[in-house]
Amino acid sequence: MKDFSKLEEKLGLEFKNKDLLTQAFVHRSYLNENPELNLRHNERLEFLGDAVLELVVTEYLYKRYPAKPEGELTTWRAALVNAKKLAQTAASLDFNDFLLLSHGEAKEKGKARQYILANTFEAFIGSLYLDLGYKSCYKFIEENLLVELAKIIEEKLFKDAKSRFQEEAQERVALTPVYKAQREWGPDHAKHFVIGVFLGEELIAEGEGSSKQEGEEEAAANALKIKGW
């Protein structure tokens, strides 16, 4: 079993119910190999934490930006609470070192690990809420997630990569990006796509995904990096 006191020390928190903290990191797969563990998996905590997280972020934006319209606040919130951002935040807090996973899941990297980290972050918020209350959640989220907001606004990261690449391409080179499937494989229920994004005849970048839309989004993100836009 992991030593969660090290995580408490790192985060500057002290849980009254240590089992709640541990449970936040228990993936469903872990219980299949460790049925003797006297804890449930973290999915109910994730359900609760998702709601707490959304409320905290919404309250923060509502109070901090009284002149901003609902639509703009909604896009900012989405940029803060999406799986990628939550996974990045969880990784920066060393949550990877405390995940309780099956041997199979422990080997998974990439998007699979990203989703596990994002879900664990939400579960952690749920456990923090139950153990230390809303104010502790607010403080934790403000210090570890909401600090990213200034960068999100400044770099327009609240816009998806396709929108940003199209705006930049039209402004800089007067061209609209075109997306074309380069390769695809796998059965219908588990397709995999490689999508290329072109400016005129030039292939700028490729992206992969389990849907064409996901591949396009990754291709656009890669194109922004390649172009330095």
**Considering its fold, how many domains does the chain have in total?**
2
Predicted pLDDT at 96: 94
125-148 mean pLDDT: 97
Pick the last residue of a domain from 154, 175, 206.
154
183-229 pLDDT, tens digit per residue, is 999 888 778 999 999 999 999 999 998 889 889 989 999 999 999 98
pLDDT at 159 over 80: no
- pLDDT above 80 for 156: no
Rounded mean pLDDT of 126-146? 97
pTM of the model: 0.74
Which domain covers residue 193, as residue numbers?
161-227
Same domain assignment for residues 91 and 25: yes
Task: Based on the fold, state whether residues 9 and 117 are members of the same structural domain.
Answer: yes
Cα–Cα distance for residue pair 69/227, rounded to 1 Å: 32
Catalytic residue among 50, 105, 131, 217: 50
Co-location of 147 and 167 in the same domain = no
At 187 the pLDDT is 86
| Residues 19 and 73 occupy one common structural domain | yes
150 plus 165 within the same structural domain: no
Query: One of 122, 131, 217, 218 is an active-site residue; which one?
Result: 122
Tell how strand 202-209 and strand 178-185 pair up.
unpaired
Same domain, 40 and 148: yes
The partner residues of 207 in beta bridges, in order of sequence, read: 195
Active site annotation includes 160: no
Q: Is the pLDDT of residue 40 over 90?
A: yes
CATH number where 30 lies: 1.10.1520.10
Give yes or no for residue 110 having a pLDDT over 80. Answer: no
Evaluate whether 181 touches 195 at the Cβ level (below 8 Å): yes
Q: Facing residues of 195 across strands? A: 181, 207
On the question of pLDDT at 112 being above 90, the answer is no
Domain end among 124, 154, 184 = 154
Q: Specify whether 36 is catalytic.
A: no
